[in-house]
Chain A
Amino acid sequence: MADHGGGGGCCPPMDLFRSEPMHLVQVIIPIESARLTVSYLGDIGLIQFKDLNAEKSPFQRTYASQIKRCAELARKLRFFKDQMSKADVKSSAKSEAKAEFNFDELEIKLGELEAELTEVNANNEKLQRGYNELVEYKLVLQKAGEFFKAAQSRAEAQQTEASSQQAAEDSLETPLLKDQDSTADQGKQVKLGFITGLVPQGRSMAFERILFRATRGNVFLRQSSVDEAVIDPHSGEKVEKNVFVVFFSGERAKSKILKICEAFGANRYPFAEDLGKQAQMILEVSGKLSELKTTIDAGLSHRANLLETIGKQYEQWSELVRKEKSIYHTLNMLSIDVTKKCLVAEGWSPIFATQQIQDALQLATVDSKSQVGAIFQVLHTKELPPTYFRTNKFTESFQTIVDAYGVAKYQEANPGVYTVVTFPFLFAVMFGDWGHGICILLATLFLIFREKKYSSQKLGDIMEMTFGGRYVILLMALFSIYTGLIYNEFFSVPFELFSPSAYACRDAACSEATTIGLIKARDTYPFGVDPAWHGSRSELPFLNSLKMKMSILIGVAQMNLGIILSFFNALYFRNPVNVWFQFIPQMIFLNGLFGYLSLLIIVKWCTGSQADLYHVMIYMFLSPTDDLGENQLFPNQKTVQLVLLLLSLIAVPWMLLPKPFILKAQHNRIHQGQSYTPLEGTEESLQVEAGHDSHDHEEFEFSEVFVHQLIHTIEFVLGAVSNTASYLRLWALSLAHSELSTVFYEKVLLLAWGYNNWIILIVGIIVFIFATVGVLLVMETLSAFLHALRLHWVEFQNKFYEGDGYKFAPFSFALLVDEDE
């Protein structure tokens, strides 16, 4: 089977049929070359190290301090990244590979850079704070100045009014100021104190309330909102603020108000009452502002330069740190020798990589100038090795479909190989329309041609999935075009592609086309369904019968493939019991009933007989001895049916009974000391066998084995019926698809066309396009995909697939990048 491998031709020969043969290797590395060795092994990426220190907590391990250093460096890098994204500096993706950095040098360098950056930041922050304070001060000066001016002018107006009226009782709006003014004039009362400042807008109401309560209403507060958000000097965040002026009297009130201001984070600023002074201060503040602005700009540009230089090498550094960290993590998994001179590594690696690994070990020894080389040896173990398939970008997505169900047991037959063809094919049977197929083909070709670009960047969730499965979709589209040509469906428009239709009207008027039918005028249509069927009254019965029978044929074929794979598994794992008491009766049972049905279908197609197959199948069970009458398809059919029925009936106990007893007998033999089972093999599979046998030494519970076998048998027998029926979904979905596209074509596009109005036509076309894309291309694709998935996972794979292995997860730098991103 192995020579089937390199199907692509372009890729290295690979054996996808069974997972790579693996072995457990032990590497003894002298401690001085350990880091370099692991780093080279990481470059190869073909060893899965075992954790030999599982019982130790992370900080008790040998290289905990190095990991801490790496974490510290990673933190610094994160800090840089954060700063860069704040300053909008992009890290150049892959700069020219500059000088290799030593880890220690990098540590020092990053430390310096961090210190410099934090210093620059602190300076900037200080300046910024001063600047923001000044901005706030300026706002206070302006706004508060406005209050005072407005109050003064109003007071003046009122005074003149008052002097004319000789009374001023009802001026509710500015009682305090008026008082203040009048008292100032008279110079009799104490002057009112006031505080000006800014308070965040969200808290201004609470501020006012608390002020009122604390001073028992003996304050006068004016607030005015600042139009745009101000940067708070303390927190550095943008906040909407109000400028306030509080007037109060007395020292106690003042201390209270000051405390409240503090509690509310209100910044206070001195304010002169005198108008002239105010103007002067505004001037002063503006001057300082522009001065500070230039300083800040200079600081910012310095910082930007610094970040720029960091950004140039950021990617390189972070990759180095990531690698370094993973190396030490791996080193932590190795057990240290008692003499503390060498580290012992154990891990799984594929056998083909042995040479590569040994070369890397040698290279590491030379490069680290170590006197002793690393020792590489293969260990024998009974553990089950991990499953590793060498996939390429094409087969990977198909293998993923299989792995999503369960990772194959070590060296088990891999359904992934067949999935490459059967999956898109089953999809296409449900999605047969070459118009839709072409749409999907174009979409996926777009993805494939931009593969290089997309694979390097991060895509959205859904996009990522589509991109990952681009080759699956490509094959799905190609097969859809193929089945679409067979169904003769193009957005449900019939085409006479290969030759004119074989049928013609009886007369020129074509009046009987829909009643009596057409007459056959030419040779049979050479490929696929004759376009004349489209729209005829008998279209559905014809297509249904065709697709239903086709579904059963496909289903029986695929299930047979599954059972045959179980045969190859049994052969490979040297399990004759499974061949004789599982594979053979299963084949007989399935083919005796449904294989026979498939045969009948083909015979009926070939002979054009009118026999009723339902009737044949049902009465094969109900009264097998009855005469078939007009339903007879070939001579001696009754005898054949009787034989098949009997064979199927025998197959059931055949599957059920012997296997548990044989297993029991085998078990007993082993315990008597006559190890009869073929332990002595020449291949690696012997390890696997040995592994299995060691399990058998546990208690042999006969009842458990028997019940297990009973369940298996029942599942298979019932499954043969229900799985065959399950394949009818192929017909159902394809029917749904073609009917939906007919509806959209006839009820939307043709209807709109019929109005002879271009507005309606445009609306119709738009609706048609959206319905086609949304429902047929997206939703139908998804549903057909899911059904194809189900047919593979359940109906196909349950015949042979164990799927209880675990995946090979090598230590590899190449995989590291994806993990972290």
Chain B
Amino acid sequence: MYGFEAMTFNIHGGYLEAIVRGHRSGLLTAADYNNLCQCETLDDIKMHLSATEYGPYLQNEPSPLHTTTIVEKCTLKLVDEYKHMLCQATEPLSTFLEYITYGHMIDNVVLIVTGTLHERDVQELLEKCHPLGMFDSIATLAVAQNMRELYRLVLVDTPLAPYFSECITSEDLDDMNIEIMRNTLYKAYLEDFYRFCQKLGGATAEIMSDLLAFEADRRAVNITINSIGTELTRDDRRKLYSTFGLLYPYGHEELAVCEDIDQVRGVMEKYPPYQPIFSKLSYGESQMLDKAFYEEEVKRLCLSFEQQFHYGVFFAYMRLKEQEIRNLMWISECVAQNQKSRVHDSVVFIF
């Protein structure tokens, strides 16, 4: 029903779209961030946040606050909102919403596996997991010794199971392995999500393919930069790139052979949408790249709210909220550690 969403979308999706748009107007604005950046203590931050949507979540916290408490409570709000939306959603929106959390699931799996590899306490690790990426038997991940066991024991019950088909080996787990596993899983996840959105069709496909392509390209760049100087071969590197996005396939060929950051830059500057991101960076610098990508992402996510009758807004909202929580975490950390000069370094204004 391409182009006719307006006729039928509201039957199932109207209520939730209204909800998500309402949530969106609760996002902190530039004025809020300006005020937050001027805070002297974490209590000031709490006081300011109590005037926003976060108020009820923070009001019962006793006074010596920690950054983790703030972040935890803010995440709790996100999770509550997500759960509410998931409860109200019908197919295919509920599947779409579930897809959004798979990324967190992958991160959590990697976190636990790495943690147990370094002999951390499972309980402690569980607390660090993102609550959106929790699944039933996540704690049992600690039992597994290698990928095969990991898959056979635990992940076969989770939605991540299909993504594992490419990385089942009997090798023992080590850091490198896990990182490769994360990227392989992510690749499979993004491709699957992309296919799912294409299947949905209409404005959802149009907007989501754009957003996901950006995500895929960003991951490709990050993989390239992170793997420079490691023993990862070019072919292995190429295998980790998702098979869609603006860089696919020719950009991938070029990225796969990059040896330093300036080569990456050379590749990326051929693509007009990414040119402004890289032109902002000075040569040889990769520190600010993350922020530049985040800014670009936020811009794209905000734009998705300009169109109606599609599911992209849910994805965009969740992403924006996560960015907001990252911002709050950064600001709180800076305030807590008296590094106020750096407070603007990593904050991405949403509006």
Pairwise interchain contact B122-A262, C-beta atoms closer than 8 A = yes
Residues of A within 8 A of B140 (CB): 210, 214, 259-260, 263-264
Q: A67 in the interface, Cβ–Cβ < 8 Å? A: yes
User: When chains A and B are docked, how far (Å) is the Cα of A414 from the Cα of B152?
Assistant: 78
Known contacts: A68-B43, A259-B140, A259-B142. The answer to whether A210 contacts B60 by CB under 8 A is no
Are the CB atoms of A58 and B47 closer together than 8 Å? Answer: yes
Query: Judging by beta carbons under 8 Å apart, are A213 and B139 in contact?
Result: no
Asked if B39 is at the interface (CB within 8 A of a chain A CB), the reply is yes
The A-contacting residues of B in range 32-46, CB under 8 angstroms, are: 35, 38-40, 43-44
Q: A64 contacts B47, CB within 8 Å?
A: yes
- A57-B48, A78-B60 given as contacts; is B38 within 8 A of A210 (CB)? no
A185-228: CB near B (< 8 Å → 1, else 0) gives: 00000000000000000010010011001100000000000000
Q: Is A75 an interface residue (CB 8 A)?
A: yes
B153 CB contacts on chain A under 8 angstroms: 210, 213-214
Q: A264-B139, A264-B140 are in contact. Are A59 and B50 (CB under 8 A)?
A: no
Tell me whether A79 is interfacial, beta carbon within 8 Å: yes
- Chain B 45-66 near chain A by CB (<8 Å), digits 1 or 0: 0011011000000011111000
Shortest distance from the beta carbon of A107 to any chain B beta carbon, whole Å: 12
Residue contact A263 to B143, C-beta cutoff 8 Å: yes
A67 / chain B contacts, CB cutoff of 8 Å? 47
In the assembled complex, which residues on chain B have CB atoms less than 8 Å from the CB atom of A60?
A: 38
Interface range on chain B (Cβ under 8 Å from partner)? 20 to 34
**A262 and B139 contact, Cβ closer than 8 Å, known pairs A59-B48, A210-B154:** yes
Q: Out of B44, B62, B157, name the residue touching A75 (CB < 8 Å).
A: B62
Bound-state CA distance A75–B62 (Å) is: 7
Asked if residues B139 and A263 are in contact (CB atoms below 8 Å), the reply is: yes
Say yes or no: A263-B142 contact (C-beta < 8 A), given A59-B39, A75-B62, A213-B152.
yes
Q: A75-B60, A214-B153, A263-B142 are in contact. Are A206 and B48 (CB under 8 A)?
A: no
The answer, yes or no, to whether A256 is at the interface (CB within 8 Å) is: yes
Contact pattern, B 68-104, Cβ under 8 Å of A = 1, otherwise 0: 0000000000000000000000000000000000000
Residues of A near B154 (CB, < 8 A) are 210
Chain B residues closer than 8 Å to A75, beta-carbon distance: 59-63
B66 to chain A, nearest CB (A): 16
B111-145 interface with A by 8 A CB criterion: 122, 136-137, 139-143
Q: Which residue of B lies closest to A262 (CB)?
A: B122
Q: Which residue of A lies closest to B47 (CB)?
A: A59
Known: A203-B136, A213-B153, A214-B153. A259 touches B38 (CB 8 A): no
CB distance from A132 to the nearest CB of B (A): 19
Given the complex of chains A and B, what is the CA–CA distance between A26 and B172 in angstroms? 78
A372 to B262, CA, bound (A): 72
Q: Mark B14-43, 1 if CB is under 8 A from A, else 0.
A: 000000000000000000000100111001
User: In the complex, what distance in Å separates the CA atom of A71 from the CA atom of B43?
Assistant: 11
Residues of B near A57 (CB, < 8 A) are 35, 38, 48
B47 touches A72 (CB 8 A): no
Say whether A71 contacts B47, CB under 8 Å. yes
Q: Per-residue 0/1 for A592-612: is the Cβ within 8 Å of any B Cβ (1 yes, 0 no)?
A: 000000000000000000000
Q: Are A79 and B136 closer than 8 Å at their CB atoms?
A: no
**Chain B residue, CB-CB nearest to A216:** B152
B143, A214: Cβ atoms under 8 Å? yes
A58 contact from B48, B63, B137, Cβ within 8 A = B48
If A75-B62, A263-B143 touch, does A206 touch B136 (CB 8 Å cutoff)? yes
**Within the complex, what minimum Cβ distance (angstroms) separates B148 from chain A?**
12
Taking CB atoms, residues of chain A closer than 8 Å to B51 are 58
Interface residues of A in 207-254 (CB under 8 A from B): 209-210, 213-214
Q: For residue A105, give the distance in angstroms from its CB to the closest CB of chain B.
A: 19
In the complex, what residues of A have CB within 8 A of residue B157's CB? 206, 209
- Complex alpha-carbon distance, A209 and B35, angstroms: 53
* Set of chain A residues within 8 Å of B60, measured between Cβ atoms: 75, 78-79
Contacts of A78 in B (CB 8 A): 59-60
Assess the B47–A210 pair: CB atoms within 8 A.
no
- From B35, B63, B139, B143, contact of A72 by CB (8 A): B63
The answer for the CA separation of A68 and B39 in the assembled complex, in Å, is: 14
Which residues of the other chain, B, contact A256 by a CB distance below 8 angstroms?
Answer: 143
Tell me which residues across on chain A come within 8 A of B44, comparing CB atoms. 59, 64
CA distance A64 to B44 in the complex (A): 9
Alpha-carbon distance between A302 and B348 when the two chains are bound, in angstroms: 52
Give A267 Cβ to nearest chain B Cβ, in Å. Answer: 14
- Nearest CB of A to B157, in Å: 8
Query: Is A263 a contact of B122 with CB atoms below 8 Å?
Result: yes
Bound CA–CA A392/B122 (angstroms): 65
What is the CB-to-nearest-CB distance from A77 to chain B, in angstroms, rounded to a whole number? Answer: 11
Minimum distance in angstroms from A254 CB to a CB of chain B: 12
Contacting residues, chain B, for A260 (C-beta < 8 A): 140, 143
Which residues in B have their C-beta under 8 angstroms from that of A262? 122, 139
| Cα-based distance from A203 to B138 in the complex (angstroms) | 12
A43-80 interface bits toward B, Cβ cutoff 8 Å, 1 = contact, 0 = none: 00000000000000111100010011001100100110
For A253-277 the 0/1 string (1 means CB < 8 A from B) is 0001001101110000000000000
Cβ of B207 to closest chain A Cβ, rounded Å: 36
| CA of A206 to CA of B62, assembled, Å | 38
Greatest chain B CB density within 10 A among A59, A203, A209 is at A59
Find the A residue at minimum CB distance from B35. A57
Distance, CA A403 to CA B48, complexed state (A): 33
Residues 261-314 (chain A) with a chain B CB within 8 angstroms: 262-264
Instruction: State how many angstroms separate the Cβ of A204 from the closest Cβ of chain B.
Output: 12
Q: Is the Cβ of A68 less than 8 Å from the Cβ of B47?
A: yes
In the assembled complex, the CB of B25 is this many whole angstroms from the nearest CB of chain A, namely 20
Could you say which residues of chain B place their CB within 8 Å of the CB of A71? 47, 50, 59
Task: Give the docked Cα–Cα distance between A187 and B38 (Å).
Answer: 77
Cα distance A350–B71 when bound, in Å? 47
Which residues of A from 77 to 131 have beta carbons under 8 Å from B? 78-79
Which chain A residues lie closer than 8 Å to B48 at the CB level?
57-59
Q: Which residue on chain A has the smallest CB distance to residue B63?
A: A72
Query: Smallest CB–CB gap between A201 and chain B, Å?
Result: 14
> Residue of B at shortest CB range from A255?
B143
Most buried by A among B38, B44, B143: B143
How far is A58 from B50 in the complex, measured between Cα atoms in Å? 10
Which residues of chain B are within 8 angstroms of A263 by Cβ–Cβ distance?
A: 122, 137, 139-143
Q: Inside 8 A of B136's CB, which chain A residues have their CB?
A: 203, 206
Nearest neighbor of B59 in chain A, beta-carbon distance: A75
Query: Residue on A with the closest CB to B141?
Result: A263
Query: Restricting to B227-261, which residues have a CB under 8 Å from any CB of A?
Result: none
Residues of B within 8 A of A68 (CB): 43, 47, 63
| A259 closest partner in B (C-beta) | B143
Which one of B47, B48, B59 has the greatest number of beta carbons of chain A within 10 Å? Answer: B47
- What separation, in Å, do the CA atoms of A203 and B43 have in the docked complex? 40
**Set of chain A residues within 8 Å of B40, measured between Cβ atoms:** 59
Whole-angstrom CA separation of A71 from B58 in the bound complex: 11
Measured between C-beta atoms, what is the minimum distance from B43 to chain A in Å? 6
A690-701 to B contact mask, C-beta < 8 Å, 1/0: 000000000000
Q: Please give me the residue from chain B that is nearest to A75 by CB atom.
A: B60
Rounded to whole Å, the gap between the CB of B61 and the closest CB of chain A is 8
Q: List 17 A-B contacts (CB under 8 A).
A: A64-B44, A68-B63, A72-B62, A75-B59, A75-B63, A79-B60, A209-B157, A210-B143, A210-B153, A214-B153, A256-B143, A260-B140, A262-B122, A262-B139, A263-B122, A264-B139, A264-B140
- Show the binding face of B for A, using Cβ within 8 Å: 35, 38-40, 43-44, 47-48, 50-51, 59-63, 122, 136-137, 139-143, 152-154, 157
Nearest 10 Cβ contacts at the A-B interface: A263-B139, A57-B35, A59-B44, A263-B140, A259-B143, A59-B47, A213-B153, A72-B63, A210-B140, A256-B143
User: Residues of A at under 8 Å CB distance from B?
Assistant: 57-60, 64, 67-68, 71-72, 75, 78-79, 203, 206, 209-210, 213-214, 256, 259-260, 262-264
Given A68-B47, A210-B143, 11 additional A-B pairs, CB 8 A = A57-B48, A58-B47, A58-B48, A58-B51, A72-B62, A75-B59, A78-B59, A79-B60, A206-B157, A259-B140, A262-B139
